[in-house]
Amino acid sequence: MSVLTSIFQAIFQSITWLLFTSESAYSSIFHDFTGRFTGECSALTGVVHIGIAIGICISAYKIMITNSAEFVSTALELVTKKKPFKSPKPAREFMYMTVVSFLPMILWLIPTGKSGFLYNLLRMTGFNQTLFDDGIFLAITGALLLLAYKQHSVNPGKKRVTLVPALVVGFASLLLVPVSGLSLVAGVAAILILFGVSDKLVYRYCVSLSVPTLLIMGIIEVCVSTTPATVVQNIIGILLSAVAAFFCTRVFRFLLEKAYYNYFGIYNLGLGAIVAVIGIVELFVR
C-alpha cells in the first residue's frame, strides 16, 4: 500500500501543480473525506514537491541556467561596484522581475498568534472542516482562467514582464500558494495573460517561480512532517514525481501556447461549484 501511495501521490501532485488546477484543493477534499483536519503534512508530500521541482528544472533547463547565470552575474557586479541595474538586457530584466515577485512572500513570516505565521493561517483553509471556501476559491481559479482566455482571444499578449505585473504576481502569490482552491501556476499565468504578457514569457515566469517555491515548500514539509516515509516511498516519490513533472511541464507549455486553458477554467468552475455545495451541507452537518 505504501508503494501505491507513493505512485499515486507523485503523479497526482505533478498533474495538479502544473496543469491549471489546484493541488491544494484536491488535498483538502481528500483530507475532508478522511476526517483529517490537523493540517499536519507527511514527509512524502515534501519529497514529491522536491521531485516536481527537479522534473521542471530538467524539462526547462535552459531557463533555469539562464536565470541562475544572470543572478550570479548580478551579485558579482554588485561586489565589484559595477551598475548591474542600469539598462539591463532582457534576460537579466526577466530575472529581476522574478525576484520582485518573490519579495512579497516575506510577509508569510508575519506572526499570527496561535496559528504561527501568516502562511500557516492561510494554509488552514484546507483543514477547517468545510469545503465551502475551497470550492469558492477553486471557482475563482476557473474564472481567472476564463477571463485570461477571453483577453488572449481579443488581444494575444506580446508584452514583457514589467514591474507592475511582477508586483501583482508577488502579492497574489501570498494567497495562490497556501490557500486551498487557488493555484500558483494557474493564477500567475492568468494574471500575466491579463496584463498582455507574451505566451513565451508567461511559460518562463511560471516555471521560474515554481521551482524555488516547490523546493522551499518541500524542504520545510520534510523537516516539520509528523508522518515519516520509508526509504522506498521516498525513492519512488522523488523519481516518479520528477518524471511526471518533466512531461507535465511540456504539456503545460503546449496548453499555454494553444490557449487550451479555457477548458480547465470551465472544469475548475464546475468542480468548484459542486465542492462549494458540499461545503454548505457540511456547515449544517458539522
pLDDT for the residue numbered 82 = 72
| Residue pLDDT, tens place only, 238-264 | 999 999 999 999 999 999 999 999 999
- CA 283 to centroid of chain Cα atoms: 28
Predicted local confidence at residue 128, as pLDDT: 81
Inform me whether the pLDDT recorded for 186 exceeds 90: yes
Residue 232's contacts (CB-CB under 8 Å, 6 or more residues apart) are: 2, 3, 6
**Per-residue model confidence (pLDDT) at position 81:** 67
pLDDT at residue 247 in the model: 97
Give Cβ neighbours of residue 133 (< 8 Å, ≥ 6 apart).
Answer: 125, 180, 181, 279
Query: What is the predicted pLDDT for the residue at 230?
Result: 85
pLDDT confidence of 142, banded at 50, 70, 90?
very high
Q: What is the pTM of this model?
A: 0.93
CA dihedral 265, 270, 276, 277 (to 10 degrees): 170
Give tens-digit pLDDT for 145-175.
999 999 999 988 889 999 999 999 999 999 9
Q: Over the stretch 64-75, which tens digit does the pLDDT of each residue have?
A: 999 999 998 888
Phi, psi of 234 (to 5 degrees): -65, -45
Residues 83-116 have pLDDT tens digits of 766 777 889 999 999 999 999 999 998 988 877 7
pLDDT for the residue numbered 225: 81
| SS3 state of residue 90 | helix
Tell me, what's the pLDDT at 11? 93
Pair 31, 37: CB distance under 8 Å: yes
Round to whole Å and give the CA distance between 220 and 253: 28
Total H helices, total E strands in the chain: 12, 0
How far is 61 from 209, CA to CA, in rounded Å?
14
Residue 39, pLDDT > 70, answer no
User: Is it the case that residue 272 has pLDDT exceeding 90?
Assistant: yes
**Predicted pLDDT at 245:** 97
pLDDT band at 17 (very low <50, low <70, confident <90, very high): very high
Q: Is the pLDDT higher at 139 or at 126? A: 139
206-232 pLDDT, tens digit each: 999 999 999 999 998 888 887 788 888
